[in-house]
Amino acid sequence: MKRFLLPKLIVRLTLLVFLVSSCGPELERKREGDSSSGQTSEVPSGGNGNCEGCNNEVPSSELDPSCLTEGVSHGVQVNVGGSWSTIEDPEQVRSSYLRSLHDFSLVLRGKASGANEVWSSENVSCLKERFKSDSVLQVRFLVYKRPTDNTIKDANGVICSNQDSKYFFTKMRLKVSLYGVDNNNPGVRKFVKQYDVPVTQGEAINVGSCSSILSLEVPKDSDRFVLSIDNIYWDFFCENKDVYGSNATTVCPDYHLPSAQCVKVGVQVATDSTLKLQWDSGTPIPQLNTGSSSYSNEQCPP
């Protein structure tokens, strides 16, 4: 019997190599946000150049319509010729004074070993110039379906080579931080607060949907603010635990996004000088120093 052990071992090793190279067993392909059907197509990525490192397309077919907005207009106080006057007509304000929302999407990969964050607005020059506010800071995050194109590039220009169209995720949550920065010391970020998104423990953002609107406290002792995404958690390995042999007690309900995988996240930011994600008519209207030589109502970059 011993003379048959070697041939059997060779056959088993050959079979093992085949199974590994075939990427595991085929699962029923799940549409993100739907546990019963599949979707393997991907809207081509692109961008309108409004932010370096950002993909600014927002395909309406991918997202809940309630997450798409042109922004809310409202009254403002403007500095004209050294004196302040109030403009109450929302259409006049929209067309002449307030910028569009900062509304862009990012292709992001999981946090690399030893890194402090996944993404920072400080690394995008146009946002460094525009992320300024005295009173209003509203933020909302959107979650797109998993990119399937393995030639797509992340926000740093690195190709996401491990994407596929077989396996998906259904929900995501984030940890984000807010910092203040002084113009005379731009290399130092002053930590303000870290936020869970969604803010309610145990909740998550479904794919194709968005978080609630976060109204953050503007750093009062800083010239501008910095927004960072510190970590991303998804339920990919929980949804596909039978394929990856994952331990449910470890990867469910979610697990941190690995650095080899990429996801697509939308970011919407409203400040004093932009249209708002939401507006309470009883809120004090912001002042816009339109007399400043650096003021512009154009979207980033001008």
- For residue 292, the model assigns a pLDDT of 61
61, part of any domain = yes
Q: Please report which helix (H) or strand (E) contains residue 173, including its range.
A: strand 171-182
Band the pLDDT of 56: cuts 50, 70, 90.
very low
Residue among 274, 243, 231 nearest 100 (CA): 274
DSSP state of 61: G
37, part of any domain = no
pLDDT digits (tens, 9 = 90+) for 152-206: 999 989 999 999 888 999 999 999 999 999 988 888 999 999 999 999 999 999 9
Q: Give me the number of domains the chain comprises.
A: 1
175, part of any domain = yes
Task: Name the pTM for this structure.
Answer: 0.78
275, part of any domain = yes
Residue among 181, 178, 55 nearest 129 (CA): 181
199, part of any domain = yes
105, part of any domain = yes
142, part of any domain = yes
pLDDT digits (tens, 9 = 90+) for 228-271: 999 999 999 999 998 888 889 999 999 999 999 999 999 999 99
75, part of any domain = yes
- Please report, for residues 19, 58, 103, the alpha-carbon distance to residue 48 in angstroms, rounded to integers and kept in the order given: 42, 10, 11
Range of the domain at 134: 49-288
CB atoms within 10 A of CB 116: 11
